[in-house]
Amino acid sequence: MINEENEMKNDEEDVQYSDVPSDEELEARLEEFLEGAHTDLNSSVVQEILLRHTHEERERQNPTES
């Protein structure tokens, strides 16, 4: 029983890694992503999130009485 489980694990570990990108390719993808993310910082969605966070932080520090 244990031998069968070990054989199944070994079969699962024999995965082909030919589709895994190289470190250089991953670094290039990351750099490209980060450059795109930097330009997205000006998006209205991010600005809205920052405004909400600021408002929530102010409310937390100076709660208004309801």
From residue 50, alpha-carbon distances to 34, 41, 47, 55 in Å are 19, 10, 5, 9
> What pTM did the predictor assign?
0.33
Q: pLDDT tens across 23-49, in order?
A: 899 899 888 888 776 666 667 777 888
Residue range 9-32: mean pLDDT, rounded: 77
Any idea where the domains of the chain sit in the sequence? 22-66
Q: What is the pLDDT of residue 7?
A: 65
Residue 66, pLDDT above cutoff 60: no
As a whole number of angstroms, the distance between CA 16 and CA 11 comes to: 11
